[in-house]
Structure 1
Amino acid sequence: MHALSHGTTSTPTIIAVPPALSLPVIETAFPRKFHPYWPRLREETRAWLLGKRLMPADKVEEHADGLCYTDLMAGYYIGAPDDVLQAIADYSAWFFVWDDRHDRDIVHGRAAAWLRLKDRLHRALDSPGDHLDHGDPVVAGLADSVERLYAFLPGGWNDRFARHFHEVIEAYDREFRNRTEGIVPTVEEYLELRRLTFAHWIWTDLLEPSAGRELPDEVRQNPAYRKAALLSQEFAAWYNDLCSLPKEMAGSEVHNLGISLVIHEELALEEAITEVRRRVEECISEFQDAERDALRFADTLDDGTVGGKETSAAVRACVGNMRNWFSSVYWFHHESGRYRVDSWDDRSTPPYVDNEAAGES
């Protein structure tokens, strides 16, 4: 099986998908789509990363396009207004940079720097306008991206997004402590933590501005809608674990479903990989059932009123994009330089990261 990598040219490059990571059902039953704004999106996010000093100019030039962060979002939030997709893509790129900063703080034992950053991120999330010019680019970048996201829907959505991301920040702090102390969480502990560090509910929240409508609580909490949303995110998190296991083992990571299975379930590495793959495939089949239920639920919301029709259409759009997440995540992992650990000079140090201390001002 092959992925098409757009790279930095107009001619796609064929990249082979390793058999151990190949999922034929994704390639046949989940057609890949791209938002038509995608080429401009890539240019604008590259400029944003540079302007916000989130990556050094040489890293932006050499790695930004090849990391495919914008491709991931352009394959997910289909139908989003261009300005919404741009804000989401910039926030997503920021998220990857923050994730790398978190990793480097752990690797270099910068506990005090991490605690300062954690506190600043909480404050920037609550009052982004006050942090747009913060001296730490990671703080200022979050402030800029979330202030733009907050403009699209009413305050209730903003409060929910902030609440969910506060939980993500705290989960990253738990991961920091686990890695620093060499604690491998049990499988159940890991699954609970992963739903936060992967930001399951953040990416689900962002389906709503993409659809142009805040969904009522009773709609979002409906079992059919919630199950489809959770399965789409679980697939993404566990497939990421499957693909990033070599990188994370090289970097002495402790947070990966495969690692938890080896340590706590006493599986051999190959057995653990097989089990993670089984869970990934189970997510796909269960989603296809949940998707049908969620679309039937959407039909029941169209009660003949204008509001009912609009809510029904928004739910259908959200569920359609949950489906898009499967193909976007799948191809991203085979096109992005983020997972090509075998090509790095140092398997434990990604070539696209700034390995120096940052944000100390």
Structure 2
Amino acid sequence: MHAFSRGTTSTPTAVPVPPALSLPVIEEAFPRQLHPYWPRLQEKTRTWLLEKRLMPADKVEEYADGLCYTDLMAGYYTEAPEAVLQAIADYSAWFFVWDDRHDRDIVHRRPAAWRRLRTRLHTALDAPERHLGHPDPLVAGLADSLVRLYSFLSPGWNARFARHFHAVIEAYDREFVNRTEGRIPTVEEYLALRRLTFAHHIWNDLLEPSAERELPDFVRKHPTYRRAALLSQEFAAWYNDLCSLPKEIAGDEVHNLGISLVTHERLTLEEAIVEMRHRIDGCVSAFLVAERDALMFADSLADGTRQGKELGTAVRTCVGNMRNWFSSVYWFHHESGRYKVDSWDDRSTPPYVSNEAAGEK
């Protein structure tokens, strides 16, 4: 049973958290939120995965709900209109499926398949309406989610989102090369690449349609807003690395903060885990300061005009959702079957993926 099935809560539920992964500050200082649309969101995203043929029907039936992809988004963008949240949740589910295809293309040495997919995704990103009927379900699924995401704000926001996602696709290509060559990046190289492969800018871009307001450059680029946004994403990426470490060691991965620390900083695995936790704890503490400053910045935007009041309200909503990201990411990693490596028959092969070279028929 998922914790969310009992409603929102500010304390841990029945989901056990291993001591090595426990963060009391998250459990105590970041009350868990959930969009009330979540039950329908889960059902509709499950249906969408089937209709778009993004996962085989048997795997959707057995694994989709337990992977908790919709829980993650419903716990993040809690103020979003339902249509916006649905589009984000479908896009997020697509992203996980894409990540799995990328992984399987690496594991099964399919560079030609990856190169074709990379080119098709770049093309679909710029003209999604032309790719809705593409024979590769991954390309068509991206196009479908983008058509909806591009309908909420301005062409300028759409172009920014596309620019950011083009960079993510290229980062995935660099990861493909590193993994196929067995090259483990240095810690600093890894951290820079991780900001792209985790799609920091993308999830922050999506704060805006969730708040029903496109933020002007002077707000998005303001140091206080940018710092809070970055820290929320850094926490998510680094905590994901901590939780994924057993899975990625089993799969001969080269992209994980822990693996870079062991390889290039000459730490033992135990020391690397301690260092990862230190960085994660520091990220949480820094966010609490940045959050306070960002909320003060939001208040300063309310200059007595209606526009100023609406802009300040939108920024407060975005910062509130940044805070939600901490608890949503934390509990997702303990509820989702994506990280329960010990329950898999083969620790290097997730049971919810297809090993076929999809899109190549």
TM-score calculated relative to the size of structure 2: 0.97
**Which residues of structure 2 form unaligned runs of 5+?**
7-11
Q: Please name the residue that 1:244 is paired with.
A: 244
Separation (CA, whole Å) in 1 of partners of 2:110 and 2:52 = 23
Map Cα deviations across residues 26-52 of structure 1 (whole Å, 9 max, x no partner): 001000010000000000000000000
Using the TM superposition, give the Cα deviation of residue 163 of structure 1 relative to its aligned residue in structure 2, in angstroms. 0.2
* Pairs within 5 Å for 1:2-81: 4=3, 6=5, 14-81=14-81
| Paired residue type of 2:192 | E
Contact kept in structure 2, 1:45 and 1:86, CA below 8 Å = yes
**Which residues of structure 1 form unaligned runs of 5+?**
none
* Pairs within 5 Å for 1:115-154: 115-154=115-154
Separation (CA, whole Å) in 2 of partners of 1:104 and 1:3 = 28
SS of the aligned residue for 1:16 comes to coil
Q: Please name the residue that 1:158 is paired with.
A: 158
Using the TM superposition, give the Cα deviation of residue 14 of structure 1 relative to its aligned residue in structure 2, in angstroms. 2.4
Separation (CA, whole Å) in 2 of partners of 1:262 and 1:153 = 44
Map Cα deviations across residues 55-108 of structure 1 (whole Å, 9 max, x no partner): 000000000000000000000001100000000000000000000000000000
| Distance 1:118-1:292 versus aligned 2 partners, 3 A rule | same
Contact kept in structure 1, 2:232 and 2:326, CA below 8 Å = yes
Separation (CA, whole Å) in 1 of partners of 2:307 and 2:154 = 16
Map Cα deviations across residues 236-278 of structure 1 (whole Å, 9 max, x no partner): 0000000000000000000000000000000000000000010
Same amino acid, percent of matched pairs: 78
Contact kept in structure 2, 1:190 and 1:260, CA below 8 Å = yes
- 1:270 lines up with 2:270 in the alignment: yes
Contact kept in structure 2, 1:5 and 1:335, CA below 8 Å = no
Contact kept in structure 1, 2:134 and 2:140, CA below 8 Å = yes
Separation (CA, whole Å) in 2 of partners of 1:121 and 1:147 = 14
* Pairs within 5 Å for 1:289-300: 289-300=289-300
| Distance 1:249-1:257 versus aligned 2 partners, 3 A rule | same
SS of the aligned residue for 1:212 comes to coil
Separation (CA, whole Å) in 1 of partners of 2:307 and 2:155 = 19
Separation (CA, whole Å) in 2 of partners of 1:19 and 1:5 = 22
Q: Please name the residue that 2:9 is paired with.
A: none
Question: Cα RMSD between the aligned structures?
Answer: 1.4
Using the TM superposition, give the Cα deviation of residue 305 of structure 1 relative to its aligned residue in structure 2, in angstroms. 1.1
Separation (CA, whole Å) in 2 of partners of 1:176 and 1:69 = 24
| Paired residue type of 1:320 | G
Q: Please name the residue that 2:253 is paired with.
A: 253
Contact kept in structure 2, 1:6 and 1:13, CA below 8 Å = no
Q: Please name the residue that 2:308 is paired with.
A: 308
Contact kept in structure 2, 1:3 and 1:331, CA below 8 Å = no
Separation (CA, whole Å) in 1 of partners of 2:222 and 2:66 = 39
Contact kept in structure 1, 2:4 and 2:34, CA below 8 Å = no
Q: Please name the residue that 2:321 is paired with.
A: 321
With 177-186 and 12-21 compared, the bigger mean Cα shift is at: 12-21
TM-score calculated relative to the size of structure 1: 0.97
Using the TM superposition, give the Cα deviation of residue 6 of structure 1 relative to its aligned residue in structure 2, in angstroms. 4.2
Using the TM superposition, give the Cα deviation of residue 355 of structure 1 relative to its aligned residue in structure 2, in angstroms. 1.1
Using the TM superposition, give the Cα deviation of residue 13 of structure 1 relative to its aligned residue in structure 2, in angstroms. 8.1
Separation (CA, whole Å) in 2 of partners of 1:280 and 1:26 = 11
Aligned residues: 356
| Paired residue type of 1:86 | Q
Separation (CA, whole Å) in 2 of partners of 1:320 and 1:183 = 38
| Paired residue type of 2:105 | D
Map Cα deviations across residues 291-318 of structure 1 (whole Å, 9 max, x no partner): 0000000011111111111110000000
